[in-house]
Amino acid sequence: MAMAPVSHLSILPTVLKDADCLELSLRSLGLQPRRGGTLAGFGGEAVSVEVQVAMGRGRHLGWGRQADGSLALVGDLQRIAASNSLQTLLGRITRAYAARHALAEAAEQLPGAVLDVHA
């Protein structure tokens, strides 16, 4: 009995923790991330971010470090979503991060192996 192929990426955790991996993932999607800075969070409060990207018209998305070590999304999502397909973009970012992170973990477990991604 033949088994259908399974996408392992669909079961990978999507909690972002590695800022370097996030930055590389954003670049792979044609975005131009910048490290550090502050963005306006909920209620206009200034929030420090580790990574941010410009979304046009003075709008930015960023990821700030949380107490648990994860990177949380920061930005005026309502304004950005009004002019961009934010949900689709965030899905693409998450998938790129998950794939890159999985390859990095595999490379650590398999020293000497050559790992590559083909579209």
Which stretches of the chain drop beneath a pLDDT of 50?
1-11, 119
Residue 5: predicted pLDDT: 43
Residue 10: predicted pLDDT: 42
* CA–CA dist 101, 103 (Å, integer): 5
Residue 6: predicted pLDDT: 41
Residue 84: predicted pLDDT: 59
The DSSP bridge partners found for residue 38 are 48
Question: Helices 19-28 and 86-109 meet at what angle, rounded to 10?
Answer: 120
Residue 33: predicted pLDDT: 97
Question: For the chain, what's the residue count?
Answer: 119
